[in-house]
């Protein structure tokens, strides 16, 4: 059993409990009262690097990262620094997140918000929208092709954008075949938790240039952003470095708007 399998098993248990308390039909009925999802693509696709700044308390690989007693304070600091979107972990067992964090952040900022979780069922997509998410994460490694397509279509029907996450060549081909406009390359292998900063440069050439590419995980500072931009990234998704920085606003600002020397590389 990989780490990813183990995490998804826990996610499914928690999900079964929530679904028993609030069946899908009732959850769907709530969507009528939710403000429409924001479109993150203009900001993400704009020239110069964009930052998707993450609210993350802990992780299976690193353990405790930051207390974050009030996610709104952190998210507002990210927004003030020009974050193109804010990612909120909602997985509880391993990452210490919650849907309450998502809703609080959504209510406090006017930039698009990503529900960062291990999405494996339709219920979670509807749930994301009901709690205000503008984007959802779809991890290709956790989904078969039919489920991936169904969840991607459902997210779009609800007005949301999916960040489709890949880690190797085969997953990248599946994301491209899906037509996903927003593709994230995770430097961390969710099956082993190992980081490999060279994965982005290997996979980026496999993705057509009309898709927006996001480099995820292990971004330690401006130097890493510059490298990923030179390799074709439009955006970076940053958690640990930002939650540990004493001045997250300045940190987001410093990583934003960077262009590849000599022009875009793809
Ligand atoms: O904290 P980091 O190394 O900057 O990573 C952020 C983000 O990429 C990471 O949290 C992440 C990327 N894909 C995921 C899937 C599930 C959970 C977490 C993640």
| Residue 92 among the catalytic residues | no
Residue bearing the CA closest to ligand 1, atom 5:
217
Q: Which residues are near ligand 1 (CB < 6 Å)?
A: 54, 56, 116, 139, 165, 186, 216-219, 237-241
Q: Among 51, 115, 188, 218, which residue has the most ligand 1 atoms within 8 Å of its CB, making it the best to mutate?
A: 188
pLDDT tens per residue across span 5-49: 999 999 999 999 999 999 999 999 999 999 999 999 999 999 999
Beta bridge partners of 86: 53, 113
pLDDT recorded at residue 191 = 87
pLDDT recorded at residue 208 = 98
pLDDT recorded at residue 264 = 53
- Three-class secondary structure of residue 79 per DSSP: helix
Cβ proximity of 71 and 258 under 8 Å: no
Is the pLDDT at 227 greater than 60? The verdict is yes
Least confident of 22-36, 210-224, 233-247, 249-263: 249-263
Residue bearing the CA closest to ligand 1, atom 10:
239
Is the pLDDT at 68 greater than 90? The verdict is yes
Gap between the Cα atoms of 190 and 92, Å rounded? 17
Cβ proximity of 229 and 266 under 8 Å: no
Q: Catalytic one among 91, 127, 171, 216? A: 216
| Residue 216 among the catalytic residues | yes
pLDDT recorded at residue 260 = 85
* Residue among 148, 204, 158 nearest 180 (CA): 148
pLDDT tens per residue across span 50-64: 999 999 999 999 999
Gap between the Cα atoms of 91 and 227, Å rounded? 30
| pTM metric for this prediction | 0.97
pLDDT recorded at residue 140 = 98
pLDDT tens per residue across span 157-190: 999 999 999 999 999 999 999 999 999 999 999 9
Cβ proximity of 49 and 236 under 8 Å: yes
Q: Catalytic one among 186, 231, 240, 256? A: 186
Residue 188 sits at φ, ψ, to 5 deg, of: -95, 125
Gap between the Cα atoms of 49 and 84, Å rounded? 9
Task: Give 256's pLDDT tier (boundaries 50, 70, 90).
Answer: very high
Q: Give the H or E element holding residue 9.
A: helix 3-21
| Residue 186 among the catalytic residues | yes
């Amino acid at each position: 059993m990989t780490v990813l399998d183990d995490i998804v098993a826990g996610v499914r248990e928690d999900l079964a409990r929530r679904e028993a308390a609030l069946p899908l039909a009732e959850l769907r009925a709530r969507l009528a009262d939710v403000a429409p999802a924001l479109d993150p693509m203009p900001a993400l696709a704009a020239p110069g690097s964009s930052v998707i700044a993450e609210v993350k308390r802990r992780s299976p690989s690193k353990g405790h990262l930051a207390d974050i007693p009030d996610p709104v304070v952190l998210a507002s600091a990210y927004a003030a620094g020009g974050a193109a979107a804010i990612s909120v972990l909602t997985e509880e067992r391993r990452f210490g997140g919650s849907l309450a964090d998502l809703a609080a952040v959504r209510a406090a900022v006017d930039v698009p918000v990503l529900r960062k979780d291990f999405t494996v069922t339709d219920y979670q997509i509807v749930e994301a929208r009901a709690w205000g998410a503008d984007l959802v994460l779809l991890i290709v490694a956790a989904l078969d092709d039919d489920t991936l397509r169904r969840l991607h279509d459902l997210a779009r029907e609800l007005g949301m954008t999916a960040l489709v996450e890949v880690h190797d060549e085969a997953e990248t081909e599946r994301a491209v075949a899906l037509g996903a406009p927003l593709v994230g390359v995770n430097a961390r292998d969710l099956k082993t938790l190992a980081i490999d900063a060279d994965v982005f440069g290997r996979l980026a050439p496999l993705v057509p240039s009309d898709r927006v590419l996001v480099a995820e995980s292990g971004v330690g500072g401006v130097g890493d952003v510059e490298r990923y931009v030179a390799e074709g990234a439009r955006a970076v998704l940053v958690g640990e470095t930002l939650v540990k920085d004493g001045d997250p606003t300045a940190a987001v600002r410093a990583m934003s708007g960077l262009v590849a020397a000599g022009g875009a590389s793809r």
